[in-house]
Amino acid sequence: MNRTIIALTVIALIFGFNSTVFCADSLTIGVVNFEKILKESSAGKMTQKQVKAKGNELQQKLQDEKKQLDEMKKTFERESLVLSPEKQQEKKREFGKKVNDFQKMQQAFAQQFKQLEVQLLNEMQKQVFAIAKQIGEKEEYQIIVEKKTAGIIFYQDQLDITDQIIKQYNLKVSKTN
């Protein structure tokens, strides 16, 4: 009885594996490299430019604020010799408040920058995935995966449809501008 069950199991496994092997010939897979699209497409370059411009703007505001803090500190150090202890304490508290405000500003700017970056990348990703879906439907791909998020270790170059997506994405962006 046990031999019969084992034999039937082995036969079922053999036929089960063979059917997947036969199906593998018709499976069409595409691979997309989103990082390459970000670097090489015109929309990706515009997105990077926007993110960099916002980062530079926020950085400049922080530098201006830091200069004001440095000037305030120098003024306090110069005046500390002639100020009464009460005035020194008041100036220290005022300076401490400014330092705390500066630190909060740094955190707020970092969060604002990150939100902008995520928002722009998400918008771009939606558009790229829509184009990948169109290509997949048109060229009858069964699966299209993103290289980084899928955790792909190896793939053959002919599976990569990134350049095709970049071309269509650039066309789409040039038509909207």
Domain ranges in the chain are 2-176
Contact (Cβ atoms closer than 8 angstroms) between residue 30 and residue 143: yes
* pLDDT one-digit tens code per residue, 119-135: 999 999 899 989 988 98
| Cβ(44)–Cβ(121) below 8 Å | no
Measured between alpha carbons, how far is 117 from 111 in angstroms, rounded to an integer?
10
Per-residue model confidence as pLDDT tens digits over 79-107: 877 878 888 888 889 888 999 999 999 99
CATH architecture of 2-176: 2-Layer Sandwich (3.30)
Give the predicted TM-score (pTM) of the model: 0.67
Q: What is the rounded end-to-end Cα distance, in angstroms, of the chain? A: 74
Tokens 């515009």, residue located: 46
Would you say how long the chain is, in residues?
A: 177
